[in-house]
Structure 1
């Protein structure tokens, strides 16, 4: 009996150790890897050192990673500033260069020379130069007796002083971010390049293959990549766009492995993940998936069905709404996967069991118990209390975000604020008007009043049915009753009489003398309705919501500190994502999302052809790709007569990691991160290694498309390919 017990204990230990080896959760700060992660990473197969990843004295991996536009990641892959990112990250820029005559979304684009590379106003590429821990300096003067507002005021003052005195070059910038719910602060010295040009993109039938049906789904067969180039001034420093600028000579660029990957290979992803919330209490997780995700999915589901119907019938509308549809659908589907994943892995129960262990350890330590008693219980209770207000906020936000007439009104109101400030300055007033004209003209280029009206009708019905009357303004309720609760009748009136349904009408309004313009705007039915909606939120929801959220923020920070103290020595804590440079690592592996379903870790070009539906906007395949497939003409990029396309691994990623490089054990580029598996999208609040997988396009498929499909061999010749 004793022997059996010992064997069982040993088995349990082995299981725990095995889980630890594959415990790939975490988005780690690169400058801390040598102390926290290097040993584990090498145990998983990494062949380089932490100093090869982050080094301020010589070129390292961090010097090849850029924040692309502030919303994605890209990596430098040549000595001439060529960068690689996702097709969906470059989508907005590609769309702006597209027209019915030159439809780069439909047909792709490849610059044959440097001179043909296309500039993109406003697009930036930001490198991280240095990361410093400034927690001690930032929190100097903070006391426990301070209110949340007083505390933040002291910290803000300190941060302003630190930022001003930070050591940096004249062309460099300084960014400071809070970590661990404001328990730590780090300073980032950055370099931002403002001349980023489009070099190449495959057609959407490759770069967006599978479109919204396959989004967040595995198996995946999408060549989700595009190429840009960073240009600098002749001195090599950041500069505004100029024809005289030259391709950037980077501190480091990524060599590209032609070897591919196999099961259990070590993988590493570097990039700028946007936002995670891994340390929430159980009631917050429950709120996310049972209250807020449901509300947002409901609203976007209605909007997307309408837009999709128009896009399938009208090519012009398809171009106008392509980027907006993709952006809206992205998180709509993500939230659905998040709900599924939490249910599949019992994420709420997992949090509750974690809290039981937290309380056990807390109660066993008198000093910690005295310091943190009641923190978790109070925090959970606050999340229950805030639920109806947070839900009302999300219904309001989704209505005003997806019915775009409200976006036009917001831009107009911003203009009127600027114009009013310049009333005594003729030149300043004229500039404000010109700036507004340019902004609103670009907006209406991708706006269709008929589409927007139908979206308005659908979302207004949901909003009124789901947001209690007490959370709505009395004037809105009166307007609703005036039209007998018929959203179509309300929309007929608003869209027939408002100036905000076309550029010409809004532009004419903006040309009027200020007082006359304001009088007409105030009487505009769309503006009146927007004001009623906003006042309902501002007066009936926001005060209680903000007060509760302020209390939650304070207690969440305390709970974060409590977790780190209670579990001290038992686990390493990584900070939640906040759009700063991070490293995550894992293993190539398949997964099982549900009973009797097992997914392999690789997909091939054969799968593209299996999904092929001629003429379908999601699953059509270019004739040239079909020809290459039939001939098995894969060049040096194929493997035993087959062409690899995508693979998955257990790297912990999120939004912002789109475009991040997937690196092998030697720090060589093996793929391009672009998505997560649907059930694993809940990794933002509940990472689980059993189903959380990131999806990457194999770098050999990227090179095959560039070289064999597009014939843009000059780009491949820039790169350093290694075997």
Structure 2
């Protein structure tokens, strides 16, 4: 037993001692981790990284729209983030006449900067441990439903206290370590955010789906926005009278670049990881969530892409949706591949054998946790068919036909309890119609109806399929034809009749709304059928996370990512999926020309002749490296995940050297397990960003706003 425990200790020592692993809470970096950061090259004291009382580096970091990250780089509120993070805004302002996706956009003066009513950025003001408040009325053995109710209720109370004290602040209570700890994050949201600069897609999306998640990269994945505020520098909705926001801290920008071994830290808002998840949870995610995404989105995207390639108006309309869908489609393919090749499930099962022995060796643990691993296995097995069906259901009916999604939202939304909020939701839904092609959407719906029937057991089919079989003789096309020719929801008129409470409109007789009711009903069925297993799994996964920390309680552990601000650190380092190929730690514009030639005729690698001409002159000026070349991208071993897109990449002095925008194909299992030899972070070199802004975009006025560190 002692030998087994020693092996376990060694396992976790290796797990937590890697300097490049971990998404750390800035106010919870312990002494040992801080020393590792300094050994690698951090020159700033921790008080300059995170300080709630005086301006610090964290005050230059933003959550961009709640789904990406960004960094403030000027006294007048300029923000750098990724091109794909700003893609919705770029697409919304684009048209065939003004194709900002293809050609890029630059605001020559402040009056030309484009507002984005639905976009906001958030600054973290402070964080507070509220675990004791949340768990004070919770006791061991409590029913999981009751526990969740208490947690949710107390979280809401704590969050409301923040806005009641200061209406400009927003509180969010987040769960850490599987629900064993809770922290309050207090944010200030700025809702007037304007598009300032976007490179052409031949820069911002160079390589497209082909290069996505692949090193080496040559993608200038950046865009520029500006935050506006009222006359008191406080948050305000868009108004022509608003002024550029003046931040408390501005990220300085380095023109010195980096070399092999240069310290690098990312600051941003990573979305979610599951590194304390059981093998059963990993297997379920692989076979259900990931596989349904692979199967269903592949079909949907093929329909979209065919239409996009034949019509510029459709290309602009669907560009952002296609990019968002395909990104996680390819990610799921890579994750499943990595899980198998790296034997992630097998490794986790070995850990679970040790957990079982750890519990059995201690009477108090056995009494508290019982047969934890067996309990997890039984619960996951009991919901296997249900989760398989619900995963395909979500992709086919919740994330495919846009008209169906709008209809589902319409019958599920209370427009009237809060008239202001209801009006805002209604207006937002009306706008969606401008981005829907009914002919494409009908083709998608037909494909989804067929795919869902093919992939799931008949017991999980909604009642709609009886209608299709009995009334339309099983012909999904005929059913869809009827829906799109008879529904009021094909135009905003149907939505307006719901919103205005038109008594002459029986919305449940409308065919698309009838389908939406069926979808919502089946979704509720899924939830109710799986409630017992879901509660047991939630409880046992929380125990699982707790035990992992108990077994090595003297070690430093970081919590899973949960969309709160995190720091990761590492170094610039060469990487190659094939060690014999000799790939370096950075790429140059030479690679752009090579790929343009290699993929001639492929739209993913088309570049404007004017840009190629500019790059061929090699007049890179102060943005060139020591060899006179222009670096485009670089790669580090920083620990990142989705949501880190747009994260600032700093050197040891806290100077901006790049923007994180991607991981690597071989490290796609990183949400589940960090592999130090494989996982990498790809960033766009900040010097390439500035070169494109100044020389290609002809916007030196933006460069003049920046704080450049020579």
Give the TM interval when normalised to the shorter protein.
over 0.9
- Normalised to the residue count of structure 2, the TM-score between the two structures is 0.92
Match among 268, 271, 277 for residue 271 of structure 1: 268
Which stretch of the first structure deviates more once superposed, 224-233 or 287-296? 287-296
**Paired residue for 2:4?**
none
CA distance in 1, matches of 2:545, 2:576: 32
Match among 365, 372, 382 for residue 375 of structure 1: 372
**Is the 1:34–1:51 contact (alpha carbons within 8 Å) kept by the matching residues of 2?**
no
CA distance in 1, matches of 2:340, 2:136: 43
Work out whether 1:587 is the aligned partner of 2:548: no
Work out whether 1:623 is the aligned partner of 2:609: yes
Query: Aligned runs of 1:112-123 on 2, under 5 Å?
Result: 112-123=108-119
CA 1:292–1:596 in 2, change beyond 3 Å: closer, same or farther?
Answer: farther
The Cα shift of 1:698 comes to 0.6
**Is the 1:212–1:329 contact (alpha carbons within 8 Å) kept by the matching residues of 2?**
yes
Query: Aligned runs of 1:323-342 on 2, under 5 Å?
Result: 323-342=320-339
Work out whether 1:50 is the aligned partner of 2:46: yes
Query: Aligned runs of 1:163-202 on 2, under 5 Å?
Result: 163-165=159-161, 169-202=166-199
CA 1:482–1:164 in 2, change beyond 3 Å: closer, same or farther?
Answer: closer
**Is the 1:134–1:187 contact (alpha carbons within 8 Å) kept by the matching residues of 2?**
yes
Work out whether 1:466 is the aligned partner of 2:450: no
**Is the 2:331–2:668 contact (alpha carbons within 8 Å) kept by the matching residues of 1?**
yes
Match among 647, 656, 663 for residue 650 of structure 2: 663
The Cα shift of 1:171 comes to 2.7
CA distance in 2, matches of 1:91, 1:333: 18
**Paired residue for 1:608?**
592
| Secondary structure at the counterpart of residue 85 of structure 2 | helix
CA 1:399–1:291 in 2, change beyond 3 Å: closer, same or farther?
Answer: closer
> Cα deviation per residue 1:63-98 (whole Å; 9 max; x = unaligned)?
000111111111011122111001111111111111
> Cα deviation per residue 1:598-627 (whole Å; 9 max; x = unaligned)?
643211111111222567532111222211
CA 1:78–1:475 in 2, change beyond 3 Å: closer, same or farther?
Answer: closer
**Paired residue for 1:550?**
535
CA distance in 1, matches of 2:23, 2:641: 10
CA distance in 2, matches of 1:149, 1:583: 34
**Is the 1:476–1:532 contact (alpha carbons within 8 Å) kept by the matching residues of 2?**
no
**Is the 1:210–1:222 contact (alpha carbons within 8 Å) kept by the matching residues of 2?**
yes
Which stretch of the first structure deviates more once superposed, 246-255 or 594-603? 594-603
Query: Aligned runs of 1:218-617 on 2, under 5 Å?
Result: 218-400=215-397, 401-414=399-412, 417-418=414-415, 438-503=427-492, 506=494, 509-510=497-498, 514-517=502-505, 519=506, 521-539=507-525, 541-569=526-554, 571-593=555-577, 599-612=583-596, 616-617=602-603
**Paired residue for 2:126?**
130
**Is the 2:69–2:644 contact (alpha carbons within 8 Å) kept by the matching residues of 1?**
yes
The Cα shift of 1:26 comes to 1.4
| Secondary structure at the counterpart of residue 227 of structure 2 | strand
CA distance in 1, matches of 2:254, 2:11: 33
**Paired residue for 1:158?**
154
**Paired residue for 1:695?**
682
**Paired residue for 1:8?**
none
**Paired residue for 2:5?**
none
CA 1:494–1:577 in 2, change beyond 3 Å: closer, same or farther?
Answer: same
CA 1:512–1:174 in 2, change beyond 3 Å: closer, same or farther?
Answer: closer
CA distance in 2, matches of 1:625, 1:566: 57
CA distance in 2, matches of 1:16, 1:134: 28
CA distance in 1, matches of 2:325, 2:652: 36
CA 1:213–1:572 in 2, change beyond 3 Å: closer, same or farther?
Answer: same
**Paired residue for 1:4?**
none
CA distance in 1, matches of 2:201, 2:214: 17
CA 1:336–1:522 in 2, change beyond 3 Å: closer, same or farther?
Answer: same
| Secondary structure at the counterpart of residue 654 of structure 1 | coil
CA distance in 2, matches of 1:483, 1:153: 45
CA distance in 2, matches of 1:599, 1:345: 22
The Cα shift of 1:164 comes to 4.7
The Cα shift of 1:254 comes to 0.8
> Cα deviation per residue 1:655-693 (whole Å; 9 max; x = unaligned)?
111110011121111100111112322211122112111
**Is the 2:639–2:680 contact (alpha carbons within 8 Å) kept by the matching residues of 1?**
yes
CA 1:387–1:596 in 2, change beyond 3 Å: closer, same or farther?
Answer: farther
Work out whether 1:80 is the aligned partner of 2:65: no
How many pairs align?
Answer: 697
**Is the 2:207–2:219 contact (alpha carbons within 8 Å) kept by the matching residues of 1?**
yes
**Is the 1:662–1:673 contact (alpha carbons within 8 Å) kept by the matching residues of 2?**
yes
Which stretch of the first structure deviates more once superposed, 331-340 or 98-107? 98-107
- Unaligned runs of 5+ residues in structure 1 are 1-12, 423-427
> Cα deviation per residue 1:635-655 (whole Å; 9 max; x = unaligned)?
211222321111111111111
CA 1:363–1:18 in 2, change beyond 3 Å: closer, same or farther?
Answer: closer
The Cα shift of 1:511 comes to 8.7
- Normalised to the residue count of structure 1, the TM-score between the two structures is 0.91
CA distance in 2, matches of 1:645, 1:601: 11
CA RMSD of aligned residues (A): 2.6
**Is the 2:104–2:199 contact (alpha carbons within 8 Å) kept by the matching residues of 1?**
yes
**Is the 1:311–1:321 contact (alpha carbons within 8 Å) kept by the matching residues of 2?**
yes
Query: Aligned runs of 1:620-659 on 2, under 5 Å?
Result: 620-639=606-625, 640-659=627-646
> Cα deviation per residue 1:379-406 (whole Å; 9 max; x = unaligned)?
1332222221111111111112111121
**Is the 2:489–2:495 contact (alpha carbons within 8 Å) kept by the matching residues of 1?**
no
**Is the 1:281–1:380 contact (alpha carbons within 8 Å) kept by the matching residues of 2?**
no
Which stretch of the first structure deviates more once superposed, 316-325 or 466-475? 466-475
CA distance in 2, matches of 1:115, 1:469: 58
CA distance in 1, matches of 2:455, 2:681: 35
The Cα shift of 1:265 comes to 2.1
Which stretch of the first structure deviates more once superposed, 133-142 or 317-326? 133-142
The Cα shift of 1:366 comes to 3.9
> Cα deviation per residue 1:305-326 (whole Å; 9 max; x = unaligned)?
1100000001111011011111
> Cα deviation per residue 1:174-206 (whole Å; 9 max; x = unaligned)?
222121122111111221111111111111111
